């Protein structure tokens, strides 16, 4: 399969998927190595395809999937990660990214794209079973999230709830 043909196959798989697809799984589907898939994903992104890398694999954001988005600034320790995530998800929100400001590297951002309680549970379990630290540990617990919801009212309600629970450090309008 030539690269353009393989890339179109990847787009079809991602567009139909209800959950992220691991790079290794895409490699098997296309009968190539995972590094080839990584290169294909980079080329597709360069062409403008909205492909996200998440801890669970690749996914394609669809227009209108969360039409209202906002960057929020939060501060908490590792004991409150699950509460923060489940608050956003159970209220109908989507957690797109986490970012921190690093003294040397500047802004560091990672895609999360957590939409369901099951994806939240998987993230928490994966983190708990690893030896890694939270990204926010490099910034004293202060971090940003890009979150989204289907309406401005729902997004405002999520942000108000996060504020009431003591998660919000500052809100940035974006």
Residue among 35, 94, 87, 86 at smallest CA distance from 61? 94
pLDDT of residue 64: 47
If asked whether residues 93 and 15 sit together in one domain, one would say no
DSSP-based helix, strand, coil % in the chain, nearest 5: 45, 30, 30
If asked whether residues 77 and 28 sit together in one domain, one would say no
> Could you state, in chain order, the average pLDDT of each consecutive group of 10 residues for the chain (174 residues)?
86 84 92 92 85 83 67 91 94 91 89 90 89 84 91 92 90 50
If asked whether residues 86 and 34 sit together in one domain, one would say no
Task: Indicate yes or no: pTM above 0.75.
Answer: no
Q: Which domain holds residue 43?
A: 3-60
CATH number of the domain that residue 56 is part of: 1.10.10.10
pLDDT of residue 59: 85
If asked whether residues 80 and 54 sit together in one domain, one would say no
Burial of 41 (0-12, 13-18, 19+ CB in 10 A): buried
C-alpha 114/C-alpha 109 separation (Å) is 15
If asked whether residues 79 and 48 sit together in one domain, one would say no
If asked whether residues 120 and 79 sit together in one domain, one would say yes
**What 3-state DSSP class applies to 44?**
helix
């Amino acid at each position: 399969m030539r690269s353009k043909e393989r890339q179109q196959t990847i787009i079809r798989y991602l567009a139909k998927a209800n959950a992220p697809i691991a790079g290794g799984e895409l490699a098997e589907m296309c009968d190539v190595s995972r590094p080839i898939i990584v290169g294909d994903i980079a080329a597709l992104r360069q062409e403008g395809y909205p492909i996200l890398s998440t801890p669970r694999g690749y996914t394609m954001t669809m227009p209108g999937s969360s039409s209202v988005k906002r960057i929020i600034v939060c501060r908490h320790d590792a004991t409150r990660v699950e509460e923060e995530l489940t608050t956003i998800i159970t209220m109908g929100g989507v957690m797109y990214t986490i970012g921190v400001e690093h003294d040397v590297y500047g802004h560091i951002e990672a895609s999360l794209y957590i939409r369901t309680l099951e994806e939240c549970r998987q993230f928490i379990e994966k983190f708990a079973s690893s030896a890694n630290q939270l990204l926010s540990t490099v910034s004293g617990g202060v971090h940003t999230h890009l979150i989204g919801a289907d309406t401005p009212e729902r997004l405002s309600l999520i942000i108000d709830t996060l504020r009431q629970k003591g998660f919000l450090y500052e809100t940035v309008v974006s």
